[in-house]
Amino acid sequence: MTGIVCLDQEDGLLFNGRRQSRDRVVTEKILSMTEGKPLWMSAYSRRIFPEDAPVCVAEDLVGKLAEPARKDATAGTLDQLINSEDKDIIEELTLTGKINTFDFDFIRTMKNLKALDLSKTDNTTIPASCLANTNISTVLLPLGLTAIPNRAFYQAAITSIYIPETVQTIGEYAFYQCKSITGNLVIPDATTSIGNYCFTSCTFNGTLTLGNGLQTIGESAFGGNQSLVGDLTIPVTVTSLGASAFSGNVGFNRHLTIDSGINIPFACFYDCRNFSKLTIAEGVNIIGESAFENLSSITGNLKLPNSITSIGARAFFGCSKIDGYLSLGPNITSIGDCAFVKSIDSEEIIQEKEKLSTDPDMDYYDRIIYDDTYYSAIFSKIYIQSSLPPTITIKSFGLKETTISDKRFIKREIVERQPGWSRKRQYDIYNAYRYRGSYPNHLIVPTGCTANYSDWEVDLIEEVDF
């Protein structure tokens, strides 16, 4: 509830013994400010406002303004405890006892409610979608809560959230697109599962702490949180990590540590472009397609765990600031297309060639329009501990040889003679694809394995005892 006090320029309440609020212009201004919301005042003041004004009378206005509504609820009876007049003016509500779906449905009709305190209720669960799309800015959850259900705060207007230490699961879309939420996000140690799209596109602007009991992180669970900052550590307890789980988190600006020996799925950390360091624990077997694509601020060497067997297409594509070497372990068997390509630059290049002609009125030209693509290698030096080379594509590390596709006829154009030309011209226009690039030039392999890597066409192959 908001209080209105009428003062003059000298902070006075009276003028010639008459209250400022009794001025007709002031009363009109008050009605304009309240925009049709219930206006509480004393019976004495009520007489100066129009009869059809949304005015409510109460003598204890100070008490009504200072105290939030407090109700001890029996499940399903909240609508009996709050009358229709209070329902539309209450801005802060504290509940004790136990509440259920019917009570949450009633809370959703309280159009001016801004703060809801459920911390002292006896609830261990709350209904799915219970506060979805609401305008309540502050919500304190029951301190004994064990589960936050699907869509509980879907697109809600909450500005912060404290997740009780007792919460074990957080459902799908639970906080999806909470666009007003800020501060830190702490997942308690008791929490074992975070559902798909749980915190997608929220606006937290602090740090993210994942509890040491966490086991499952769903698909895109934290995707698109662009303002989270600092380090991110995936706990050793995590056994399942969803696709795109942290994609688009451009705010993280320090160390990404994956302590768990899990497989890294598709686009898991895609476009987390401001991480400055990456550490992956032993035990990881598979790095999926685009898993670390566009981590464009990590620098130094990239040393991958010996346990890794497969690296997907574009897994480290766009990691353009890595300036050291790549180290691959003894178990690597396959590396996908463009897995370690720094960038792909494309442009259109036009090449013209004049054809000999006996026609006295016409010059003949071939015009070839190349779709020119350049694949830049991230690494010049690679260590591979495997005695047998992994399966690769011609663009896994960049592109060594320039290749040009067959040209394809597009159309013929006749251009009338222009200034400086002796005759008009005929153009036969073709399209072709040209692929170029850079490639690693130094490969270090186990002793006695040079011949195994001869097909890689690296300028220098060196043998060492790993």
Express each pLDDT in 84-127 by its tens digit.
888 999 999 999 999 999 999 999 999 999 999 999 999 999 99
CB atoms within 10 A of CB 355: 10
What is the C-alpha to C-alpha distance for residues 129 and 173, in angstroms, rounded to an integer? 9
Q: In Å, how far from its chain's centre is CA 154?
A: 16
What is the C-alpha to C-alpha distance for residues 148 and 160, in angstroms, rounded to an integer? 15
DSSP 264: B
pLDDT in tens, 19-76: 555 567 777 787 787 777 777 777 777 777 887 777 777 666 655 554 556 666 678 8
Tokens of 451: 């011949």
Locus of tokens 């749980």: 198
Q: What is residue 70's predicted lDDT score, i.e. its pLDDT?
A: 65
Residues of the chain with pLDDT under 70: 1-3, 5, 7-23, 58-73
What is the C-alpha to C-alpha distance for residues 353 and 355, in angstroms, rounded to an integer? 6
Tokens of 284: 């990881």
Q: SS3 breakdown of the chain: % helix, strand, coil, rounded to 5?
A: 10, 30, 60
DSSP 409: E
Give whole-number Cα distances, 127 to 101, 102, 417, in Å: 6, 10, 79
Question: Which of 312, 224, 303, 235 is CA-nearest to residue 271?
Answer: 224
What is the C-alpha to C-alpha distance for residues 204 and 23, in angstroms, rounded to an integer? 46
Q: In Å, how far from its chain's centre is CA 52?
A: 49
The DSSP result for 321-373, as a single string, is T--S-EEE-TT--EE-TTTTEEEEEEEEEEEEEEEP---TTEEEEEEEEEEEE
Amino acid at 430: Y
Q: What is residue 1's predicted lDDT score, i.e. its pLDDT?
A: 58
Q: What long-range pairs does 149-156 form, CB within 8 A, spacing at least 24? A: 149/125, 149/174, 150/174, 150/195, 151/176, 152/126, 152/128, 153/178, 154/129, 155/179, 156/131, 156/132
Q: What is residue 40's predicted lDDT score, i.e. its pLDDT?
A: 74
Q: Is 254 in contact with 278 (CB distance < 8 Å)?
A: no
Helix (H, G, I), strand (E, B) or coil at 173: coil
Question: Which of 86, 81, 78 is CA-nearest to residue 1?
Answer: 86
Q: What is residue 335's predicted lDDT score, i.e. its pLDDT?
A: 98
What is the C-alpha to C-alpha distance for residues 421 and 427, in angstroms, rounded to an integer? 14
Q: Is 148 in contact with 174 (CB distance < 8 Å)?
A: yes
Q: Is 399 in contact with 335 (CB distance < 8 Å)?
A: no
What is the C-alpha to C-alpha distance for residues 235 and 241, in angstroms, rounded to an integer? 11
Residue 420 phi/psi, 5-degree rounding, is 95, -15
Is residue 387 left, alpha or beta, with left meaning phi > 0 and alpha meaning psi from -120 to 50?
alpha
Q: What is residue 71's predicted lDDT score, i.e. its pLDDT?
A: 60
CB atoms within 10 A of CB 370: 19
Question: Which of 351, 352, 376, 348 is CA-nearest to residue 363?
Answer: 352
DSSP 21: G
Locus of tokens 């209450």: 90
What is the C-alpha to C-alpha distance for residues 61 and 42, in angstroms, rounded to an integer? 8
Helix (H, G, I), strand (E, B) or coil at 456: helix
